[in-house]
């Protein structure tokens, strides 16, 4: 189990911009790997309403439960490795395993038995080290939608902001408001519910 602060900046891309950046950074199709984020909340979306998110990430038959919550800089992530049995129990019955994530979730919801699975967002992701951070290219598929995204992670907000601005300027890509994946997922889910 671990807690870490994640400092990142994102920008949505068109398919052509995504392909151009993959070519620029010499990222080939075999470098993309699959991962899936399955999101959970209460029926009243109590976790979301407090600016936090709860997910299970599945990647290469590994499962990690993560609570993301606002921090003074970036997001505070509380991570907990799950066994396959724990992950399946959570994904099929919304039964949260004991551990640091469940303890960290108590300020957001009082009763974890109210959790329900909201859905899954699949991402094909590639990453490369660059300067003092990491550049990610993500192709995500969720509900009836797909999108493309550039994400930069680094050690300070100023650093990642400058780096992202430089990439966008160098490649004539417009800066676009880019909510994180779970917010895009929730937005689309609400649009489909209308």
2 has a pLDDT exceeding 80: no
> Does residue 168 contact residue 11 with C-beta atoms inside 8 Å?
yes
pLDDT higher than 80, residue 16 = yes
pLDDT in the model for residue 59: 94
pLDDT bucket at 3, cuts 50 / 70 / 90: low
User: What's the confidence (pLDDT) of residue 4?
Assistant: 66
Residues 162-182: pLDDT tens digits? 999 999 999 999 999 999 898
Residue 29 predicted with pLDDT over 70: yes
d(CA 93, CA 116): 8
pLDDT value, residue 1: 52
- Specify the higher pLDDT residue, 51 or 73: 51
Domain ranges of the chain: 2-193
Q: Which CATH superfamily is domain 2-193 in?
A: Hypothetical Protein Pfu-838710-001 (2.40.320.10)
User: What does the angle CA 84 – CA 88 – CA 92 come to, to the nearest 5 degrees?
Assistant: 180
Least confident of 62-76, 94-108, 132-146: 62-76
Question: How much is the pLDDT for 145?
Answer: 95
Residue pair 3/75 in contact by the 8 Å Cβ criterion:
no
Q: Sorting pLDDT into bands at 50, 70 and 90, what band is 7?
A: confident
Res. 87: pLDDT tops 90:
yes
Is residue 167 within 8 Å of 173, Cβ to Cβ?
Answer: yes
137-144 long-range contacts, Cβ below 8 Å, gap at least 24? Answer: 137/18, 137/21, 137/22, 137/25, 137/27, 137/32, 138/181, 139/18, 139/32, 140/181, 140/184, 142/181, 142/184, 142/185, 142/188, 143/119, 143/185, 143/188, 143/189, 143/192, 144/188, 144/192
């Amino acid at each position: 189990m671990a807690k870490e602060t994640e400092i990142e900046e994102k920008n949505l891309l068109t398919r052509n911009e995504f392909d151009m950046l993959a070519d620029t950074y010499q990222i080939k199709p075999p470098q993309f790997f699959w991962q899936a984020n399955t999101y959970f909340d209460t029926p009243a979306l109590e976790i979301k309403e407090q600016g936090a998110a709860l997910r299970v990430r599945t990647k290469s038959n590994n499962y990690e439960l993560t609570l993301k919550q606002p921090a003074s800089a970036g997001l505070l992530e509380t991570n907990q490795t799950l066994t396959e049995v724990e992950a399946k129990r959570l994904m099929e019955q919304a039964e949260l395993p004991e551990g640091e994530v469940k303890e960290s979730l108590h300020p957001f919801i009082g009763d974890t038995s109210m959790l329900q699975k909201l859905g899954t967002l699949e991402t094909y992701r590639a990453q490369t080290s660059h300067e003092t951070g990491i550049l990610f290219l993500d192709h995500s598929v969720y509900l009836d939608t797909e999108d493309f995204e550039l994400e930069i992670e680094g050690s300070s907000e100023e650093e990642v902001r400058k780096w992202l601005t430089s990439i966008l300027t160098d490649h004539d890509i417009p800066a676009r408001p880019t909510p994180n994946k779970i917010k895009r997922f929730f937005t689309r889910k609400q649009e489909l519910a209308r």
